[in-house]
């Protein structure tokens, strides 16, 4: 059980670091959008690469931040059934949901996206727009990174659920749960 708790803490820390790092991309995205709007509507100047950059940043934030969101229980769920229940009930829901819903979907996305990403790398794909950003293959690489991060966090969620069902608590110093109590 100590090995499992250590693995859960390690995955949690990884997604915490990635999530906090990606949060800074959100600030950069806002600044770029502001610059695009000012340049376009005040100076009547526009650059396709700038417009594409904030769309790429937006996709990157959502894809790489998904594991962080799962870590902090921020994904949508039907709380009228989940929230008032005991920690043991929640652990069962998280365990079964992780094993039979989350992890199979992540495996399917990984399997379906890898040829798409590899082909993009093989061609060193760039934007189709004149004046667009080169390196579209890098953006497409965020898909397997998403699968890795959310898949690992799904494993951590199932591991945490197993530990809860066995009477152990994983204390990693991170807040889990939308209520900020740190409860598992």
Tell me if 144 is assigned to some domain: yes
The candidate with the shortest Cα–Cα distance to 143, out of 120, 160, 174, is: 120
For residue 14, tell me if it sits in a domain.
yes
Torsion region of 174: left, alpha or beta (phi above 0 gives left; psi -120 to 50 gives alpha) = beta
Quote the pTM value.
0.87
Alpha-carbon gap, residue 94 to 9, rounded angstroms: 17
> Quick check: 47 and 93 in contact, CB under 8 A?
no
Domain that holds residue 100: 2-165
Within a domain: residue 175?
A: no
Number of compact structural domains in the chain: 1
In a domain? residue 172: no
Number of H helices and E strands in the chain, helices first, is: 8, 0
| Within-domain flag for 180 | no
Per-residue pLDDT of the chain (184 residues; tens, 9 = 90+): 799 999 999 999 999 999 999 999 999 999 999 999 999 999 999 999 999 999 999 999 999 999 999 999 888 777 777 878 888 999 999 999 999 999 999 999 999 999 999 999 999 999 999 999 999 999 999 999 999 999 999 999 999 999 999 988 766 556 555 444 444 3
**Does a structural domain hold residue 122?**
yes
Look at residue 16 and tell me if it is in a domain.
yes
DSSP label of 126: -
């Amino acid at each position: 059980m100590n090995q499992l708790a250590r693995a859960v803490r390690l995955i949690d820390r990884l997604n915490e670091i990635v999530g906090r790092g990606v949060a800074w991309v959100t600030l950069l995205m806002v600044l770029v959008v502001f610059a695009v709007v000012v340049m376009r509507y005040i100076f009547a100047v526009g650059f396709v690469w700038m417009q594409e950059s904030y769309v790429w940043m937006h996709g990157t934030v959502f894809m790489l931040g998904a594991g962080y969101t799962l870590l902090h229980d921020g994904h949508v769920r039907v709380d009228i059934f989940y929230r008032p229940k005991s920690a043991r009930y929640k652990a069962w829901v998280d365990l079964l949901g992780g094993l039979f819903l989350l992890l199979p979907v992540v495996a399917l996305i990984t399997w379906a996206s890898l040829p798409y990403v590899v082909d993009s790398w093989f061609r060193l794909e760039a934007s189709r727009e004149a004046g667009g950003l080169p390196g579209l293959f890098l953006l497409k690489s965020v898909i397997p990174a998403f699968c890795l991060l959310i898949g690992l966090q799904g494993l951590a969620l199932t591991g945490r659920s197993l530990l809860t069902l066995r009477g152990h608590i994983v204390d990693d110093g991170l807040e889990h749960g939308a209520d900020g109590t740190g409860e598992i």
